[in-house]
Amino acid sequence: MSERSNWSKDSWHSFKALQQPNWPDGQELQSALATISELPPLVFAGEIRDLKQQLAKVARGEAFLLQGGDCAESFSYCTAPAVRELLKVILQMTVILGYAGGKPVVKVGRMAGQYAKPRSADTEMVDGVELPSYRGDMVNSSEPNPEARRPDPQRMVKGYFLSCATMNILRAFTRGGYAALDRVHAWNNEFVKNSPQGQMYERLASHIEQAINFMRVVGLDTNMPQLTQASFFTSHEALLLGYEEALTRQDSTTGDWYDCSAHMLWIGERTRQVDGAHVEFFRGVHNPIGVKIGPSHDIDDVKRLVSTLNPDNEPGKLTLITRFGIKKIAEGLTPLVQALKKEGFNLVWSCDPMHGNTYTSSTGLKTRNFINILEEIRAFFEIHWQEGTVPGGVHFEMTGADVTECVGGGREIMDQQLSRNYQTMCDPRLNAEQSLELAFQIAEMLRE
Ligand code: PEP
Ligand code: MN
């Protein structure tokens, strides 16, 4: 058991917590949190340790991290088809990166709890009316009226149960045969099949199918879990500290504390202050932790952050998710990588090419351009190659649906076409086709 000095699961209460909702006064919040703290954990310590070991391989360059899902999950996405469609694309990307790129892929969904969002302001103007900002389905509703926008602690209880239901169907899909590699063809979406990416995927899937068949022909057992099951982990931005505390439990075998709301948690760009409540909370739990780092970071601050969150310099414990944007990555990432390499920190470096590349399209919708996303990933790889560090993974906002939220890609979505199927609750996501296209491009980089 490695105890962190002066840490307890509620020690964060004496630090400043940014981005917390204005919960109603009175007992409502305490009673919702008391309910959650009595309920079973969503994941177990053993699974969390397994992910940490897999991430240690990523840190050494022996595996690649693929983290992805919605910007904000909606309670209404908790259906078997919605979960299946996103999982399918992640499995397809895994096959592309694994087969064409030659690296085992560690799969982490922004799923089963990605229900809380940081916002730039407490209120927003909607049709001339000032309303509390939407802060994610676990806080309030996105409906633009004052009653719906009132933060309601019972939404955390609902969020817990929907995370549970999502987790359950994910476990069923990944362990119960759906993710078996001899089903690779079945993961290709109808609306993607005829695109060049869909066709490339079909060819690759046929090779895999033939390889598995050949194993059978020569008498090898193809019933092993490596071929019939997928390991899949969950993650979300750990923003609502009361919720995270209520799901933090002491492991009976090691005595260590784990935040059992998801396997991996990340701290957002807006809440990663070294002396803030989020960092205080996460320095004590033994989960793998991610931290978003954007262009406005201070290098000495990041060094302190790394030492605070990973005091034992354990490989796989800490993932720095950089999100500079195409314009700032060269000037921002290079000195950061150099400085942290000099300290000898064991880190997973992951690239979020979404959040630094967001802009408002000519038609007024928030979007991202496929080419900027791709170019930021390429720059990320090149900088790490140059510095002798490992470009360990990517972090995407994506969906299995046929949405039109990011411009560009093989189908060359233009500003005027964004409104055709613009669905997101928050930031614009890659659709299934754009996601596959990126996976093929990254596979090339992995082989270089
Ligand atoms: C996000 O991942 O949706 C997010 C808000 O990111 P960041 O903290 O990097 O802005
Ligand atoms: Mn986002």
Please indicate whether residue 323, judged by its CB atom, sits closer than 6 Å to ligand 1: yes
What is the model's pLDDT at position 3?
60
Asked whether 410 lines ligand 1 (CB < 6 A), one says no
- Cβ(41) – ligand 1 distance below 6 Å: no
**Per-residue model confidence (pLDDT) at position 190:** 85
Residue-wise pLDDT for 351-371, tens only, equals 999 999 999 999 999 999 999
The atom of ligand 1 lying closest to the CA of 352 is: 9
Distance 427 CA to ligand 2 centre (A): 5
Give the burial string for 103-123 (b: 16+ CB within 10 Å, else e): bebbbbbbbbbbbbbbbeeee
- What confidence score (pLDDT) does residue 447 get? 92
284-316 pLDDT per residue, tens: 999 999 999 999 999 999 999 999 999 999 999
For the chain, list residues with pLDDT below 70: 1-3
CA distance 110 to 265: 10
Mutate to test the pocket of ligand 1, among 133, 269, 376, 426 (most ligand atoms within 8 A of CB): 269
Q: Which atom of ligand 1 is nearest to the CA of 426?
A: 3
Tell me, using a 6 A CB cutoff, whether residue 268 lines ligand 1: yes
Alpha carbon of 324 to ligand 2 centroid (Å): 14
- Report ipTM for this prediction: 0.99
What is the model's pLDDT at position 119? Answer: 95
Taking alpha carbons only, the member of 285, 307, 301 closest to residue 241 is 285
- Angle between helix 329-343 and helix 370-387 axes, rounded to 10 deg: 30
What pTM was computed for the model? Answer: 0.97
Quick check: CB of 429 below 6 Å from ligand 1?
no
CA distances from 224 to 95, 180, 365, 432 (A): 17, 10, 47, 29
Environment of ion ligand 2 (residues, CB < 5 A): 71, 427
Q: Whose CA is nearest to atom 3 of ligand 1?
A: 71
